[in-house]
A and B are shown apart, each in its own frame.
Chain A
Amino acid sequence: MSTSGHSVFRRLLRHPSGLVGLLIIALVVLMSASAGFIFPEGPWVLGGRPRTWPGVDPAFPLGTDALGRDMVAALFYGARVSLAVGAAAALVSLVIGTLVGAIAGYYGGWLDDVLMRLTDAMQTIPSFLAAIAIVGVVGASLSTIIIAIAVVSWPMIARLVRADFLRLRTYDFVQSCKIIGMSDLRIIFGQILPNCLAPIIVSSSVLVATAIITEASLAFLGLGDPNVMSWGTILSTGRPELRSGWYMTAFPAVALVLTVLALNLIGDALNDVLNPRLKERKS
């Protein structure tokens, strides 16, 4: 991509959905960054009367959960965990997906065949089921959850990258790099990869969004990390209270939906900014 990151960002800001998305994400980032300052004791302090409704006690503007923990603190720390899970899982799956896709696409042949069958297999297994199995079997910790999500989401990236590599490796600039004796590694990472960053960047925002939802879904099934306060955790502990204190479910749900929505808006905007041609047609 010849467009510099800076100009992409400026164009995103001019894009209406990009702007809205960035604003929401900025808010979420702000929440997670400030959580430690505003609530230095952490989100687990059993500070209030359990199940205090929002607006009743000024010390707890959004009320307290079933154990008397401040909903605001929980939401702030939850933002931190949900974003971290989303970003880390997306990053790991980007790395795996890019490597697999690049190797398969660049070398082709049997290596491509093997890697693509592996990708097929991964895509054939219902990914959420695979994530459940991994987390269930290895144990529910933040790192397991991140790895589980990454392990099930890389195939999409691999396909994307492979398709671009297949196309680009025949181009003149690649051929000439080979002729002057450049190493495969340098051609892959120095020459071809920078040329297929656009779709990767676009899909990464969707990856983050999917990862956040997956984490919440796992937590909903009781497979969250009990030592961290994610929005999914708040949701699943709040759900039994749904009928008596719906706010315990509603706040994290709204936070979750808004964040995912914002990430998708950014994805759409990036798509428009980076690929004038409609990208969605390529599944």
Chain B
Amino acid sequence: MTTPAPSLPEQTPQTGPRKVPSRAMLRYILRRLSQAILVMLLVVIGSFFLIKMAPGDFVDTLAGTSDLTAEQMANLRARYGLDQPVPVQLMYYIARLATLDLGYSPFNNAPVLDILVKRWPVTAILVVTSVSISMVVGTLLGVMAARFSGKPVDLGISILMLLFYATPNFIIAVILILIFSIKMNVFPIAGFATIASGYTGWEYIRDVAWHLAMPVTALCTFFIAIYGRIGRAAMLEVLTLDYIRTARGKGLTERRVIYVHALRNALLPLVTMAGLQVSALVGGAVLIETIFGLNGMGRTAFDAVFQRDTNLLLGVLFVSSLSVVVVNFIIDLLYMVLDPRVEIK
């Protein structure tokens, strides 16, 4: 009987109780923070030049919808600093950003921050719910498939996940609307909550849940497939490991072996994956928000691109990157909790 290699690299044994030194923690946070700032600076600069590369600015777009004289257009450009060279505009933008001023959105007639404060929660709730549901459902399906590996259950789940994996979310969204709204009329098609309903408390939460049921489902399927497939693979690997045999040898029930001993270890690669998927989910949210009439970050960015609303677009990218960075940080912390072998050095 040979022993398989441990799933994660063994560290040299250390003695002494395990404590996270607060100094090390602080250093770690600072390092992550400086990396994050650099990354977000790159994001801002990159998107700034991308949108500036486009012919036309928002004044042009504006002129298309209302009759503006050349003089009015020039005034507007001056008002928004669009007559400055692009690098200068960028400098101004970054300088303002440093004071957390995201600027003004001419198209929406409101400060970017005011707009994002309303739209961030929509996407955040959509994405967080989707990640959570896909993780739970995906993992459960993966565990089930692994547990009955090679049996019909496994085959069924694997086929389902392949289908989920291969079907673009907009197709699923369209099918959901057709079945659950037009044919059965169970779920509301558009919006985040019933408008001016006066709901509060649980009633409001239920209303939001009702509205988000289809968008979340449409957004989830792909990620359920991802988590399911990774979960199955991870579980299959973990189940061959020695400590699982140890656990069985202790007389634990199969349920406990799977869900306590194996699952916690199989979760590790899934958690890593979740961090990588957050930005993909925000991207996927563009389509979902469009189809389900949700006014979130994805749709806002989409419109901002076409309106040349530079401030709004950069605002969305900045805030969503910030969210991704924060989520990844949280996930790293979570990973440390889940896997005691990972420690701050």
Contact = CB atoms under 8 A, between A and B. Distances in A.
Query: Bound pair: A and B?
Result: yes
Interface stretch (B63-71, B164-172, B195-203, B245-253): B164-172
B43 interface: yes
B171 A132 contact: no
B317 A125 contact: yes
Nearest to B316: A129
A233 to B, nearest CB: 14
A133 B38 contact: no
A121 B39 contact: yes
Interface stretch (A29-37, A181-189, A212-220): A212-220
A242 interface: yes
Given A125-B46, A253-B171, A261-B163, A120 B35 contact: yes
A64 interface: no
B237 A117 contact: no
Contacts of B284: 128
B302 A221 contact: yes
A257 B167 contact: yes
B233 A278 contact: yes
A239 B178 CA distance: 12
Given A216-B168, A217-B168, A278-B236, A128 B286 contact: yes
Contacts of A256: 168, 171
A209 B69 CA distance: 49
Interface stretch (B19-27, B48-56, B81-89, B129-137): B48-56
Nearest to B279: A126
A259 B321 CA distance: 32
A129 B301 contact: yes
Contacts of B279: 123-127
Nearest to B236: A278
Interface in B287-343: 287, 290, 298, 301-302, 305-306, 313, 317, 320-321, 324-325
B166 A261 contact: yes
B121 interface: no
A118 interface: yes
B313 A220 contact: no
Contacts of A278: 233-234, 236-237
A126 B287 CA distance: 12
A126 B282 contact: yes
B170 A127 contact: no
A260 interface: yes
Given A117-B35, A257-B171, A278-B237, A125 B280 contact: no
Interface in A110-138: 117-118, 120-121, 123-130, 132-134, 136-138
Contacts of A243: 182
B269 A281 contact: yes
Interface in A201-252: 209, 213, 216-217, 220-221, 235, 239, 242-243, 249
B42 A283 contact: no
Contacts of B321: 121, 124-125
Determine which residue in B42, B166, B298 has the highest number of CB atoms from chain A within 10 A of its CB, and name it.
B166
Interface residues of A, number: 41
Nearest to B273: A283
A188 B233 CA distance: 32
Interface size class of chain B, counting residues whose CB lies under 8 Å from the partner chain = 35 or more
Nearest to B317: A125
B51 A127 contact: no
A19 to B, nearest CB: 15
B269 A125 contact: no
A123 B50 CA distance: 16
A239 B174 CA distance: 9
A264 interface: yes
A144 to B, nearest CB: 12
A197 to B, nearest CB: 21
Contacts of A132: 286, 301-302, 305
A217 B287 CA distance: 8
Nearest to B182: A243
Contacts of B214: none
A87 interface: no
B37 to A, nearest CB: 10
Contact of B237 (A221, A257, A281, A283): A281
A242 B298 contact: no
A133 B325 contact: no
Determine which residue in A136, A209, A258 has the highest number of CB atoms from chain B within 10 A of its CB, and name it.
A136
A127 B324 CA distance: 12
B174 A121 contact: no
B276 interface: yes
Given A126-B280, A126-B320, A213 B298 contact: no
Closest 10 A/B residue pairs (Cβ): A128-B283, A126-B283, A121-B42, A137-B54, A261-B166, A260-B166, A126-B282, A124-B321, A280-B233, A120-B39
Interface of A: 117-118, 120-121, 123-130, 132-134, 136-138, 209, 213, 216-217, 220-221, 235, 239, 242-243, 249, 253, 256-258, 260-261, 264-265, 278, 280-281, 283
16 contacts: A117-B39, A120-B39, A123-B276, A125-B279, A127-B283, A128-B286, A129-B317, A133-B50, A137-B53, A217-B168, A242-B178, A243-B182, A253-B171, A280-B229, A280-B233, A281-B237
Interface of B: 35, 38-40, 42-43, 46-47, 50-51, 53-54, 162-163, 165-168, 170-171, 174, 178, 182, 229-230, 233-234, 236-237, 269, 272-273, 276, 279-287, 290, 298, 301-302, 305-306, 313, 317, 320-321, 324-325
Given A129-B317, A217-B170, A257-B168, 7 more contacts: A117-B38, A124-B39, A125-B317, A126-B280, A126-B285, A132-B286, A280-B233
